[in-house]
């Protein structure tokens, strides 16, 4: 597959959230605002690309018996870097994302790509795959958080969208709202896929 194909598959065909149903916990938990969604997606993308590159670089040096623990150590190292840098440079965002930053270590998107793709492909393809999956994750989190913030707060990136007469639907920024918005997006994606196949 070409590099362009490797990149775009993560956005539509193999979107980690909407097609593969991975990374659901942070998608549902941190998408109360667009800024939180973007911050989480960028942190995850950094860990995803970095771990893909390193795993692909050292894949031939890792004995099969310790492959999984090695991947976890690699991912945990990059997650720690993101956690510390975010705590130092963006404390409000770090506080808003809370426990979900350290939990990037066990995010199925990252571990799945390390195991299924980076451990079997070249460094360049693994980097492009990580960027594509990260872009798909970012797009999904922006869609979910954008819908939730507009409906639930009447703002987008903390900028008012409607006048003062707007009465926000608070359910959108509560957990049921996350499930409703994500379910509608997954349903739309499946519908479009079915129409395209037909």
Spell out the per-residue pLDDT of the chain, length 198, in tens.
Answer: 788 989 999 998 899 999 999 999 999 999 999 999 999 999 999 999 999 999 999 999 999 899 999 999 999 999 999 999 999 999 999 999 999 999 998 888 999 999 999 999 999 999 999 999 999 999 999 999 999 999 999 999 989 998 888 899 999 999 999 999 999 999 999 998 898 888
Q: What is the pLDDT of residue 158?
A: 87
User: DSSP of the chain, one letter per residue?
Assistant: --HHHHHHHTTTTT-TTTTT--SHHHHHHSTTSHHHHHHHHHHHHHHHHHHHHHHHHHTTTS-GGGHHHHHHHHHHHHHHHHHHHHHHH-HHHHHHHGGGTGGGGG-HHHHHHHHHTGGGS-HHHHHHHHHHHHHHHHHHHHHHHHHHHHHHHSEETTEE-S-TT----GGGGSHHHHHHHHHHHHHHHHHHHHHHH-
Range of the domain at 133: 3-145
Residue 51 is predicted with a pLDDT of 96
> What integer pLDDT is reported at residue 60 of this predicted model?
92
35 with 93: CB under 8 angstroms?
yes
What length is written for the chain? 198
Q: Examine residue 157 and state whether it is found in any structural domain, yes or no.
A: no
179 inside domain: no
What CA–CA distance (Å, rounded) separates 155 from 106? 32
pLDDT the model gives residue 12: 87
Q: Are 39 and 93 in contact (CB under 8 A)?
A: yes
Domain contains 155: no
Within-domain flag for 185: no
Instruction: Please check whether residue 39 lies inside any domain of the structure.
Output: yes
Q: Is residue 191 part of a domain?
A: no
Tell whether 100 is covered by a domain: yes
Tell me if 188 is assigned to some domain: no
Instruction: Give the number of domains in the chain.
Output: 1
Q: Distance (Å, rounded) from C-alpha 109 to C-alpha 105?
A: 10
Pull the structure tokens for residue 21: 């149903």
**Residue 54, both tokens:** 């390193």
Please work out, in degrees rounded to the nearest 5, the angle formed at the alpha carbon of residue 180 by the alpha carbons of 178 and 182: 65
- pTM for the model: 0.93
């Amino acid at each position: 597959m070409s590099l362009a194909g490797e990149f775009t598959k993560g956005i539509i065909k193999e979107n980690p959230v909407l097609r593969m149903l991975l990374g659901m916990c942070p998608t549902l938990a941190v998408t109360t605002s667009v800024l939180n969604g973007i911050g989480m997606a960028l942190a995850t993308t950094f860990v995803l690309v970095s771990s893909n590159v390193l795993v692909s670089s050292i894949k031939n040096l890792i004995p099969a018996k310790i492959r999984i623990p090695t991947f976890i150590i690699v991912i945990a190292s990059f997650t720690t870097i993101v956690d510390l840098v975010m705590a130092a440079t963006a404390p409000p965002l770090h506080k808003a994302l809370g426990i979900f930053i350290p939990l990037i270590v066990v995010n199925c998107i990252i571990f799945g790509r390390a195991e299924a793709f980076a451990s079997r492909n070249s460094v360049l393809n693994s980097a492009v795959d990580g960027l594509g999956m990260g872009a798909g994750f970012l797009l999904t989190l922006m869609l979910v958080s954008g819908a939730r913030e507009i409906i639930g707060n009447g703002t987008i990136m903390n900028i008012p969208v409607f006048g003062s007469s707007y009465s926000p639907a608070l359910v959108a920024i509560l957990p049921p709202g996350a499930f409703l918005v994500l379910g509608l997006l997954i349903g739309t994606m499946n519908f479009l896929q079915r129409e395209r196949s037909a």
